[in-house]
């Protein structure tokens, strides 16, 4: 399979977890390179549902190595909980999980600041997952963050944490929030550090050693292109580089060692949290929610839904260098009579065929649609491309072409076997 980067081509929750699980079969190592436990990647194995937040989805396959790279922000309490949760249901998590010693650590003051900043923003809030992601990456950029190798060293942890708690308590109390107890946070993090110490290593050297031994690596993107801190709908974004370039900086594997980029996208569009979503549509939201679908895997919030936006996915192909597309949730459109696809945006007299950088302008854009006749037949039992109704095949080909990349996988249900290689 060589080295493959898998990214979300929309606003997150494209079905990356499911596609990663399928592609892991061909890989030796799966690496998470960005984000934190704001991610929620759902994988079904038979009737069993797993939701991964920090641990790569590859953990569910035997004999695969999973790496949490330097670009990830790790909430150690969350990670310990996730490891224990997986072990409880019979998933092995031991030598098959390695965490970068330079990944930054999320502390309770990050979560508290995340929540307080949202309150301050009022109606302009981002709608974050409140996992402390923004403040943790903020500390990383400000060079005041603690990394995993600080967490697992009790002396350094005590020294650095006491200073950080002092500063953050001054800010929190000014904002009207309660100060944190150093003693309590230190005790919790000391215990988590002790638990996690055997998992922590130099993942850059490890990945390069593995590559010299011909290992194939799958880079598991979190969030989506339009949540990227640079290329997304700023400020309604997350705080990391979720796009393909983030796989290099977030793992220490150079661009010329990457062989392929796979973009995952739904056959329609969803977004959770605030910010512009040009093709948002009540009818399709009601339809999908009525089927019990499109509720967030991390926060349980109802996702906003809309028609497929090819202006956005074409832009995603451009900034990520997407070669191949995995189109998921085709079955969500099985009952729709007329399916719309956005092919341009109109803003006053101007027409856009790319995503404008100004979130305000994007929010004011009117989608220009083309229409497709729905196939109105269940697709979930299809196992080959030829099994799909002709109108569904035409729709898939059309949205792949509009997205400027090759159709590689069509997914017609959450299960492994509901995956069609085209």
Q: Which two tokens stand for residue 39?
A: 């991610």
Shortest Cβ distance from residue 74 to ligand GDP (Å)? 18
**Which of 3, 8, 110, 311 is close enough to bind ligand IMO by CB under 6 A?**
8
Decide if 237 contacts 226 (C-beta within 8 A).
Answer: yes
Q: Which two tokens stand for residue 352?
A: 């856009």
Percent helix, strand, coil in the chain (nearest 5)? 40, 20, 40
Binding mask of the shown chain, residues 235 to 254, with x at each position contacting ligand IMO by CB under 6 A = ---xx---------------
The active-site residue out of 13, 21, 114, 309 is 13
Decide if 272 contacts 39 (C-beta within 8 A).
Answer: no
Pick out residues in 26-45 that bind ligand GDP (CB under 6 A): 40-42, 44
The active-site residue out of 21, 28, 41, 331 is 41
**Residue 114 vs 220, nearer CB to ligand GDP:** 220
CA–CA gap between residue 355 and residue 311 (Å, rounded): 7
Q: Active site includes 13? A: yes
Residue 72 is a binding residue for ligand IMO (CB under 6 A): no
Q: Tokens 């150690």 — which residue? A: 76
Instruction: Give the side-chain half-sphere CA count within 13 A for 78.
Output: 22
CA–CA gap between residue 236 and residue 95 (Å, rounded): 37
Strand 65-68 and strand 304-306: the pairing is: unpaired
Q: Active site includes 41? A: yes
Total number of residues that touch ligand GDP (CB under 6 A): 20
Sign of the torsion formed by the C-alpha atoms of 9, 10, 11 and 14: negative
Residue 7 is a binding residue for ligand IMO (CB under 6 A): no
CA–CA gap between residue 302 and residue 285 (Å, rounded): 9
Length of the chain measured in residues: 422
**Which of 8, 71, 132, 134 is close enough to bind ligand GDP by CB under 6 A?**
8
Total number of residues that touch ligand IMO (CB under 6 A): 23
Shortest Cβ distance from residue 213 to ligand IMO (Å)? 30
Residue 18, contacted partner among ligand IMO, Mg ion, ligand GDP, none, CB below 5-8 A by kind: ligand GDP
Site for ligand GDP, rule CB under 6 A: 8, 12-18, 40-42, 44, 297, 328-329, 331, 411-414
List, by residue number, the catalytic residues: 13, 41
Q: Which residues bind Mg ion (CB under 5 A)?
A: 13, 40, 297
Residues that bind ligand IMO (CB under 6 A): 8, 12-13, 38-41, 126-129, 131, 133-134, 222-224, 227, 238-239, 272-273, 297
């Amino acid at each position: 399979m060589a080295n493959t980067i898998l990214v979300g081509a929309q606003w997150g929750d494209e079905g990356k977890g499911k596609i990663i699980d399928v592609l892991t079969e061909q890989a030796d190592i799966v690496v998470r390179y960005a984000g934190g436990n704001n991610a929620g990647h759902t994988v079904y194995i038979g009737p069993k549902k797993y939701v991964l937040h920090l641990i790569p989805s590859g953990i569910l396959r035997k004999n695969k190595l999973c790496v949490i790279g330097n670009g990830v922000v790790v909430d150690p309490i969350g990670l310990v909980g996730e490891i224990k949760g997986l072990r409880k249901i019979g998933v092995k998590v031991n030598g098959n999980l390695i965490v970068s010693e330079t990944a930054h650590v999320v502390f309770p003051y990050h979560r508290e600041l995340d929540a307080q900043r949202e309150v301050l923003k009022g109606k302009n809030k981002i709608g974050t997952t409140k996992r402390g992601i923004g403040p943790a990456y903020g500390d990383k950029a400000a060079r005041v963050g603690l990394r995993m190798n600080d967490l697992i060293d009790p002396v350094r942890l005590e020294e650095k944490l006491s200073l950080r708690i002092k500063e953050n308590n001054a800010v929190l109390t000014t904002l009207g929030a309660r100060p944190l107890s150093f003693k309590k946070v230190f005790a919790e993090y000391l215990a988590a550090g002790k638990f996690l110490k055997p998992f922590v290593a130099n993942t850059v050297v490890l990945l390069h050693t593995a590559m010299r031994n011909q290992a194939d690596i799958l880079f598991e993107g979190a969030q989506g292109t339009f949540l990227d801190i640079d290329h997304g709908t700023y400020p309604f974004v997350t705080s990391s580089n979720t796009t393909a370039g983030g796989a290099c900086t977030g793992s220490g594997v150079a661009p010329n060692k990457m062989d392929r980029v796979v973009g995952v996208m739904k056959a329609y569009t969803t977004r959770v949290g605030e910010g512009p979503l040009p093709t948002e549509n009540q009818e399709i939201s009601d339809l999908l929610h009525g089927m019990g679908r499109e509720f967030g895997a991390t926060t349980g919030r109802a996702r906003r839904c809309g028609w497929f936006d090819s202006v956005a996915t074409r832009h995603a192909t451009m900034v990520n260098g997407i070669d191949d597309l995995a189109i998921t949730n085709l079955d969500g459109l099985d009952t729709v009579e007329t399916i719309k696809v956005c092919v341009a945006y109109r803003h006053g007299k101007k027409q856009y065929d790319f995503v404008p950088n100004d979130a305000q302008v994007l929010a004011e854009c009117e989608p220009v649609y083309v229409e497709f006749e729905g196939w109105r037949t269940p697709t979930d039992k299809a196992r080959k491309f030829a099994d799909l109704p002709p109108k569904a095949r035409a729709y898939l080909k059309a949205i792949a072409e509009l997205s400027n990349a090759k159709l590689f996988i069509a997914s017609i249900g959450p299960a492994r076997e509901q995956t069609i290689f085209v």
